[in-house]
Amino acid sequence: MKIHEYQAKELLAAAGAAVPRGIVVTSPAAAQQAFDQMGGPVVLKAQVHAGGRGKGRFKDSGKDWGGVKFIRTREEVGPVVEVMLKYPLVTKQTGEQGQRVSKVLVQEAADIAREIYVGMVIDRAIGLPVLMACAEGGVEIEEVAARSPEKILRVPVNPDTGLQPFQARRLAYDLEFTAEQAPKAESLMTALGRVFLEKDCSLAEINPLVVTPKGDVLALDAKMTFDDNALFRHSDIEQLRDEAEENPDELRAARTGLTYISLTGNIGCLVNGAGLAMSTMDIIKYHGGEPANFLDVGGGANKEQVTEAFRILLADPRVKAVLVNIFGGIMKCDIIAGAILAAFKEVGFHAPLVVRLEGTNIEQGPKMLAESGQNITTATGMTDAAKKVVAAAR
Ligand code: GDP
Ligand code: MG
């Protein structure tokens, strides 16, 4: 689960980090009031669950600025916020269609002498959280990481003890903070490390962490993603969820107990079990197709879940063929075939359907599908299924 920048900065501030003053608004008028309260230049920041806002653009707005806009005068505030709330914001992370903005953060503008990156992620290779930092932070961080990966400093963190003071000190030294700035930078890194571990983040980053000409050190922008499997123990974080920012199909699937992730291809996949779903996607790609989604209906797929899964798949106009690949372990193949037939009738298919069943009562399931008189292609084995569905999608 992701949260907005302003929420991430509230969590950091609660853990002791220095962040700029800011007010979240939902209208141009409220933005003007917030500007008055700040009493000086502000930065207007579109709140979306995507990065790269500074370099993004508002689709069809004709404006040459993106989701982060420096503002000096009161007169500029209203028109800028109007554009932000009217047009979708397109960044490297939103996709072509962009993301609607409903909240704008009016933040006290900071003067910037240096921009630094600090972020924490789980490093799967070593099985530990790692604090990463780079002296060249800001909007070019992805390019720096790709061009000169040696510039990214990495410090593994023991999850039992958290980020240790000596580790933060060492990083502050390597990032060339002055003696006066270093303790401030260390307290920001410590806050980041604390929030990451206490709240079960999978990612938490401050980019940029800035040094002002006066020597203040601030978290100017922050991003956080939480481990969904740990949300049950963080009701405070769960409350920060903004459903408007989430993929509507993924939300709908989650409510039915399905695990659904939208992808970019044209073959809809309905599979039980994450491992089988992964290998189904692999074999589709191996035979020249592209999956439209990852969909795991779980071990005990019932009629309601299969029906809802079909609805979600077929609501996607890109889907040109559907592959059902189910192993009848907990559920028997004849029960699954019955659920598929019932769902097939109820949903109304506009794309060819290929079904591969395996497992308990395999003699009955495919026979029921074949004898149903419905336009359903049955397949034997993964390869046969992949070949048939790739051909159907073409
Ligand atoms: P992002 O593009 O979504 O990561 O949004 P950021 O909040 O990181 O802003 C992008 C860039 O805008 C930063 O790297 C800064 O260079 C600039 N920026 C953001 N806030 C301020 C500010 O208060 N003052 C100044 N001078 N620049 C800012
Ligand atoms: Mg940023």
Please indicate whether residue 117 is annotated as part of the active site: yes
3 state DSSP class of 92:
coil
Ligand 2 center from residue 68 Cα (angstroms):
9
Ligand 2 center from residue 49 Cα (angstroms):
12
Q: What is the pLDDT of residue 355?
A: 96
- In the chain, the domains with their CATH numbers are 21-108 (3.30.1490.20), 114-238 (3.30.470.20), 248-393 (3.40.50.261)
Q: Is the CB of 139 under 6 A from ligand 1?
A: yes
Mutate to test the pocket of ligand 1, among 68, 70, 111 (most ligand atoms within 8 A of CB): 68
Ligand 1: residue whose CA is nearest its atom 14: 138
The DSSP call for residue 246 is S
Ligand 1: residue whose CA is nearest its atom 13: 138
Longest Cα–Cα distance of the chain, Å, equals 80
Euclidean distance between CA atoms 69 and 46, whole angstroms: 9
Q: What is the pLDDT of residue 249?
A: 83
Q: End-to-end CA distance of the chain, in Å? A: 35
Closest Cα to residue 49, out of 260, 311, 225?
Answer: 225
Euclidean distance between CA atoms 262 and 331, whole angstroms: 26
Contacts of 111 (CB under 8 A, 6+ apart): 212, 213, 214
Q: Is the CB of 68 under 6 A from ligand 1?
A: yes
Backbone angles phi, psi at 112, to 5 degrees: -120, 125
Outline where 87-164 has alpha helix (H): 141-147
* Nearest atom, ligand 1, residue 51 CA: 3
Q: What is the mean pLDDT of each run of 10 residues along the chain (394 residues)?
A: 97 98 98 96 97 95 96 97 97 90 97 97 96 94 93 96 97 96 97 98 98 97 96 96 87 86 93 93 97 87 82 90 91 87 86 94 92 92 97 96
Q: At what angle do helices 165-174 and 182-198 cross, to 10 degrees?
A: 130
Euclidean distance between CA atoms 87 and 53, whole angstroms: 13
Please indicate whether residue 286 is annotated as part of the active site: no
Euclidean distance between CA atoms 115 and 112, whole angstroms: 7
Euclidean distance between CA atoms 250 and 254, whole angstroms: 6
Query: Which entry of 5, 108, 186, 205 is annotated as an active-site residue?
Result: 205
Mutate to test the pocket of ligand 1, among 5, 21, 43 (most ligand atoms within 8 A of CB): 43
* Nearest atom, ligand 1, residue 20 CA: 23
Contact of 115 with 140, CB cutoff 8 Å: no
* Nearest atom, ligand 1, residue 207 CA: 8
Enter the tokens of residue 31.
Answer: 């933005």
Alpha-carbon 168 to chain mean position: 28
Q: Tell me which ligand sits closest to the C-alpha of residue 205.
A: 2
Q: What is the pLDDT of residue 305?
A: 84
Q: What is the pLDDT of residue 204?
A: 98
Outline where the chain has alpha helix (H): 5-14, 28-38, 74-86, 141-147, 165-174, 182-198, 235-238, 248-255, 274-286, 303-315, 333-347, 365-370, 381-393
Q: Is the CB of 112 under 6 A from ligand 1?
A: yes
Ligand 1 center from residue 96 Cα (angstroms):
22
Mutate to test the pocket of ligand 1, among 2, 21, 104, 139 (most ligand atoms within 8 A of CB): 139
Q: What is the pLDDT of residue 323?
A: 97
Predicted TM-score (pTM) above 0.85:
no
